[in-house]
Amino acid sequence: MLFKIFNYNNTIISRYLLSNFLVFFIAITFIISLIIFGNQFVLTVQESIEYGIPIEELMPLVWFNMLRDISIILILSLFLSLIITVSQLYKNSEALVMNAIGLGDKNFIQIFQPAIFSLFLAVFLLALFIVPWAKQEKSITEEQTVNASEFSFISEGKFESFKNGEIVFYASESRIMDAKGEQNMEEIFIYASDFEKPVIVLASEGRKYIDSKTKSIYLRLKNGVRYEGIPGSENLNILDFDLYDLEIVSGEIEKSLLNFSEIEEKKTIDLFKVGGILANAEIQWRFSQPISVLILSVFGVLLGKTSHRNGKGLNLLIGIVIFMLYNNSLLVAKSAIENGNLNPIIGMWAIHLAMLIILIFFYQIRQGSILFFIDKIPFLNNKESSDVKLAK
């Protein structure tokens, strides 16, 4: 039934074009994904080594970034695959034979309809549902990593700063005791900056643990001294202790993670309820991605039409430039809406309309219709005027 809806004919030519397209699409998607996600993985490993955070705690961030970027990767891969598939037909002179039997640009677009619609549906689901969820989960993971994981693996014999330099920590020895993250340390030095008085804590040993009720993370210090204030001043307070619990992360932070204020992390249905220019900009951006699939797919088929006289890869270069201009224009429009510099009614819809007009104009040039109408305009038809003068 789906084949009937798309007027798809199970012919040798259709299978040949779709199989070529699928090969190029998988290859391009793999290459782009490998570049983007490989770079993210390397940065994640570097961060793990730099901050002493186990790599398994940072890996979820890589997966959420993959989900966040996959829709743009699919759109670009579809666009480039269509250009390469059609251009290969012309360079191998196969398209000339197809044109001779009546197969043109419209027929090529019709043949690619099942693939285009499938990717349109995939990008629609990603942009409206999966990507917002991935951003929300990424925010949770980052928050947990910053507030908890930075203390989960403290390097021994090294001064380390946490919470943007608010806490400086040192332990001569550090050992992970169990899978829950409990950690024993010896010869501990802690400096905590306060708005009023700095705090310095010295302890012979300590243990990091998580309270089972409040879920707060504590350092239980033993046999130490706590200095509050500036040494040498009258306001210096000194406290000797046998046992001292220092809260690192409050359990309330985990509860507050459920309260999201970022528009990009909200569900699409919630954006319609929230309203406002920020929500409007995000809604337009999400719907713009599946719309761009339809526009760029037609562009891809038209740009694939080439000849042996054209430079190799010229149409591919033009396609990349068009994609960058299109995508960046949408981002600029989104930012302008958020800043109140662009009316949301115009918004990104104007970008899509402009691209559609350019597409129609480009299609008419390919079909030769524009030149036909230009020849009908007297003052633009210089050739006809010159022929009349010569006759006189």
Question: Is residue 186 within 8 Å of 194, Cβ to Cβ?
Answer: no
- Lateral strand order in the sheet of 217-228: 160-162, 167-176, 183-192, 199-210, 217-228, 237-249
CA angle 96, 99, 100 (to 5 degrees): 85
Q: For 113-164, write each residue's pLDDT tens digit.
A: 999 999 999 999 999 999 999 888 877 776 665 444 445 556 677 787 766 6
Residue 391 lies in a domain: no
Residue 62 lies in a domain: yes
For the chain, strand residue ranges (E) read 160-162, 167-176, 183-192, 199-210, 217-228, 237-249
Residue after which a domain boundary falls, among 188, 216, 250: 250
Inter-axis angle of helices 349-367 and 276-303, to 10 degrees? 10
Residue after which a domain boundary falls, among 187, 216, 250: 250
Q: CA-CA distance, 158 to 154, in Å (whole number)?
A: 9
For residue 88, pLDDT beyond 60:
yes
For 308-331, what is the mean pLDDT?
A: 86
Q: The tokens of 386 are what? A: 């010159």
* Amino acid making up residue 321: V
Assign 1 a pLDDT band (cuts: 50, 70, 90): very low
List CB contacts of 392: < 8 A, sequence separation 6 or more: none
Q: CA-CA distance, 228 to 197, in Å (whole number)?
A: 6
Same domain, 17 and 136: yes
Question: Is residue 183 within 8 Å of 208, Cβ to Cβ?
Answer: yes
Q: CA-CA distance, 217 to 111, in Å (whole number)?
A: 59
Residue 202 has, within 13 A of its CA and on its CB side, a CA count of 5
Residue after which a domain boundary falls, among 226, 250, 274: 250
Same domain, 244 and 265: no
Assign 19 a pLDDT band (cuts: 50, 70, 90): very high
Q: Quote the DSSP letter at residue 159.
A: -
Residue 388 lies in a domain: no
Same domain, 137 and 167: no
Same domain, 124 and 6: yes
Question: Is residue 118 within 8 Å of 290, Cβ to Cβ?
Answer: no
Q: In the chain, how many domains are there?
A: 2
Residue 385 lies in a domain: no
Q: How far is CA 51 from the centre of its chain?
A: 24
Residue % of the chain over a pLDDT of 70: 74
Same domain, 8 and 139: yes
The boundaries of the domain holding residue 234 are: 155-250
Residue-level pLDDT at 354: 96
Same domain, 211 and 340: no
Question: Is residue 105 within 8 Å of 77, Cβ to Cβ?
Answer: no
Q: What is the pTM of this model?
A: 0.68
DSSP string of 255-304?
HHTT----GGGS-HHHHHHH-HHHHHHHHHHHHHHHHHHHHHHHHHHHHT
Q: For 276-312, write each residue's pLDDT tens digit.
A: 899 999 999 999 999 999 999 999 999 988 765 665 6
